[in-house]
A and B are shown apart, each in its own frame.
Chain A
């Protein structure tokens, strides 16, 4: 049927309090904005066995705050902080989640520009098709605020979803697998994962309809039980 069911959803936008980050105080202090937002939304939707539930994270640009800090250090000191370096990889949030929850199930970190949400959901669908159960999906990008962004400006956001192929009484929405509808990319001056805000709000507000995700379009239908 190429459909998945969303059992839980979480959304964080600039200015929202991050209250559920599942990290010890010191690790939280060291974590990037992206990691904190991603882990906060994953924590909120993870009403599951966290050890054995896979996690798919999508972010178009990843750990840019850490990258900027490393570049500054490289060009001022010709060295790199080991802690910053190990936390600069795209799957940093995956590693932090795994350590925080003892998760031994696989994690995935992907990127696909403005298509990132669509591709993260497709990746999640593949996992569910193969292994069944439930899967955690989180997408997000930091605010465009460093020197590398040039004239681009956008706010930070992250959204989390708990999805499954089996409809239960917890189902909030049905999402149909994305269909490619065009070849050209979006204009870059918006958060690359902004479509996830639309998806999260539609699910929360019980609004069915089509969502445009970069080159893709996806149908979401309110689950009325």
Chain B
């Protein structure tokens, strides 16, 4: 099976501002969660970032929290992307990025102005500030890439499915390299929305633990450059994608869609289940999600396989979660580390029957399966190798 080299990575999340800082935090097994800086009518923890610099004047029409974050993280992968453009040509480098919230914080600000003064903020544009494509327009302008560019927005599988889009685009000959990734920022709508569904934890989230009670939301961005051939620091091997056909916001209780996606990913990668070293779980920390995912994992790995749950460290980055976790998986493979949950007193749920890594373990590994599941019954599983 063909594997696609990953020739550049960049990340920013609650753990750190760049790959080096995040790698160090993984090694030291600290977490990046804290109480939110905004007032909310309930308690929770978040993976909140410091503000980023404004966009340059030529892109100021697109300036939003999302595009500022994406532009700042892109700086760390710019050299790799420019190298790909030089190698293949600008028209042969695509951009496929995931986001769920897009420019919602700016829309909330604009709407607040309407409520207070009766009209929109003068500079607000639904087209450049709210809409999903602001993200790709900014990254295309900064990078110089002129290939196909679009946003995938399938809620929490968004930045997993971008890997599949990139693979198909390269395989079908449309491009030779694709910048994939995701970006999402905190906003009131997601906080209140997840709280209304009863799945926002009031404390630090505890995936797969007996007393798990929901998610922490995080913000961040992660980018990876996939090329059609050559040497990479890691490799993308395959994706498995399915739909649950069950419920808009709850996973199938028997994990049927997840199991099918796992089988599809392994089959397409040409990797046997016993050759997988580690599962990077979706692991949100909600009772139903973790239960369904555990059933799916045990269906394929009845005996224990290490399960890593990094949302305990960064929070759930929603549309950026899968790309963020792909970068963390690569750093884990490079550092020979299974990151723990940075929580001394976690008690795993024995009913789930999973070997979840609570405390950091040093171990060489080279094949990681990364799970992502989402609203709409969307399932996406990617396989990464070293």
Interface stretch among B14-22, B46-54, B187-195, B358-366? B187-195
Contact of B150 among A71, A79, A115 (CB under 8 A): A115
| In the bound complex, CA of A129 to CA of B244 (Å) | 24
Asked if B375 and A71 make an inter-chain contact with CB atoms under 8 angstroms apart, the answer reads: no
Query: B244 to chain A: which residues have CB within 8 Å?
Result: 98, 104
Q: Would you give the shortest CB distance from A122 to chain B, in whole angstroms?
A: 5
Asked if B148 and A122 make an inter-chain contact with CB atoms under 8 angstroms apart, the answer reads: yes
| In the bound complex, CA of A96 to CA of B171 (Å) | 30
Please report the number of residue pairs spanning A and B whose Cβ atoms sit closer than 8 angstroms. 205
| In the bound complex, CA of A69 to CA of B245 (Å) | 26
Q: How large is the interface on B (under 10, 10 to 19, 20 to 34, 35 or more residues)?
A: 35 or more
| In the bound complex, CA of A177 to CA of B147 (Å) | 13
| B184 at the binding interface (Cβ < 8 Å) | no
Q: Which residue of B lies closest to A111 (CB)?
A: B132
Given contacts A80-B189, A90-B155, whether A104 and B242 have CB atoms under 8 Å apart is yes
| A19 at the binding interface (Cβ < 8 Å) | no
Asked if B153 and A107 make an inter-chain contact with CB atoms under 8 angstroms apart, the answer reads: no
| B196 at the binding interface (Cβ < 8 Å) | yes
Asked if B91 and A95 make an inter-chain contact with CB atoms under 8 angstroms apart, the answer reads: no
Q: Which residue of B lies closest to A72 (CB)?
A: B111
Convert A98-119 into 0s and 1s, putting 1 for each residue whose CB lies closer than 8 angstroms to a CB of B.
Answer: 1101111111111111011011
| In the bound complex, CA of A120 to CA of B360 (Å) | 42
Asked if A123 and B150 make an inter-chain contact with CB atoms under 8 angstroms apart, the answer reads: yes
Interface stretch among B112-120, B270-278, B339-347? B112-120
| In the bound complex, CA of A127 to CA of B149 (Å) | 16
| A140 at the binding interface (Cβ < 8 Å) | no
Contact of B245 among A67, A99, A148 (CB under 8 A): A99
Asked if A148 and B174 make an inter-chain contact with CB atoms under 8 angstroms apart, the answer reads: no
Asked if A79 and B174 make an inter-chain contact with CB atoms under 8 angstroms apart, the answer reads: no
Convert B127-163 into 0s and 1s, putting 1 for each residue whose CB lies closer than 8 angstroms to a CB of A.
Answer: 1001111001100000000111111111100000100
| In the bound complex, CA of A104 to CA of B256 (Å) | 10
Query: A105 to chain B: which residues have CB within 8 Å?
Result: 242-243
Q: Which residue of B lies closest to A106 (CB)?
A: B241
Asked if B110 and A148 make an inter-chain contact with CB atoms under 8 angstroms apart, the answer reads: yes
| B299 at the binding interface (Cβ < 8 Å) | no
| In the bound complex, CA of A96 to CA of B245 (Å) | 8
| B165 at the binding interface (Cβ < 8 Å) | yes
Contact of B257 among A86, A104, A112 (CB under 8 A): A104
Asked if B196 and A82 make an inter-chain contact with CB atoms under 8 angstroms apart, the answer reads: yes
| In the bound complex, CA of A44 to CA of B34 (Å) | 49
| In the bound complex, CA of A180 to CA of B165 (Å) | 18
Asked if A110 and B152 make an inter-chain contact with CB atoms under 8 angstroms apart, the answer reads: yes
| B197 at the binding interface (Cβ < 8 Å) | yes
Q: Which residue of B lies closest to A130 (CB)?
A: B168
| A155 at the binding interface (Cβ < 8 Å) | no
Query: A152 to chain B: which residues have CB within 8 Å?
Result: 126-127
Query: A148 to chain B: which residues have CB within 8 Å?
Result: 107, 110-111, 120, 124, 126, 130
Contact of B376 among A98, A104, A129, A183 (CB under 8 A): A98
Q: Tell me the A131-152 residues at the B interface (CB within 8 Å).
A: 147-150, 152
Q: Tell me the A64-85 residues at the B interface (CB within 8 Å).
A: 64, 67, 70-71, 74-75, 78-82, 85
Asked if B125 and A147 make an inter-chain contact with CB atoms under 8 angstroms apart, the answer reads: no
Asked if B165 and A126 make an inter-chain contact with CB atoms under 8 angstroms apart, the answer reads: yes
Query: B120 to chain A: which residues have CB within 8 Å?
Result: 147-148, 150
| A61 at the binding interface (Cβ < 8 Å) | yes
| A94 at the binding interface (Cβ < 8 Å) | yes
Contact of B243 among A78, A85, A98 (CB under 8 A): A98
Asked if A95 and B146 make an inter-chain contact with CB atoms under 8 angstroms apart, the answer reads: no
Query: B153 to chain A: which residues have CB within 8 Å?
Result: 62, 89-91, 109-111
| A8 at the binding interface (Cβ < 8 Å) | no
Given contacts A95-B375, A95-B378, whether A82 and B197 have CB atoms under 8 Å apart is yes
Convert B348-386 into 0s and 1s, putting 1 for each residue whose CB lies closer than 8 angstroms to a CB of A.
Answer: 000000000000000000000000001111101000000
Asked if B169 and A150 make an inter-chain contact with CB atoms under 8 angstroms apart, the answer reads: no
Asked if A99 and B246 make an inter-chain contact with CB atoms under 8 angstroms apart, the answer reads: yes
| B100 at the binding interface (Cβ < 8 Å) | yes
| A174 at the binding interface (Cβ < 8 Å) | no
Given contacts A70-B193, A130-B172, A147-B114, whether A91 and B132 have CB atoms under 8 Å apart is no
| In the bound complex, CA of A129 to CA of B168 (Å) | 8
Q: Which residue of A lies closest to B157 (CB)?
A: A91
Known: A90-B132, A107-B376, A188-B127. 18 other contacts (CB 8 A): A61-B126, A64-B126, A67-B104, A74-B189, A78-B192, A80-B195, A85-B193, A95-B375, A106-B241, A108-B161, A109-B152, A110-B151, A111-B150, A119-B150, A130-B167, A130-B172, A150-B125, A185-B137
Q: List 26 A-B contacts (CB under 8 A).
A: A60-B133, A61-B132, A74-B188, A80-B193, A85-B189, A86-B197, A89-B153, A91-B155, A94-B378, A95-B376, A98-B377, A99-B246, A104-B243, A105-B243, A106-B242, A106-B380, A107-B376, A108-B161, A108-B165, A109-B153, A112-B136, A116-B150, A122-B169, A126-B174, A130-B171, A152-B127
Please provide the 5 A-B residue pairs with the shortest distance between their CB atoms, ordered closest to farther.
A95-B376, A126-B168, A85-B193, A90-B153, A106-B241
A residues with a Cβ closer than 8 A to B are 2, 51, 60-62, 64, 67, 70-71, 74-75, 78-82, 85-92, 94-96, 98-99, 101-113, 115-116, 118-119, 122-123, 125-127, 129-130, 147-150, 152, 177, 180, 183, 185, 188
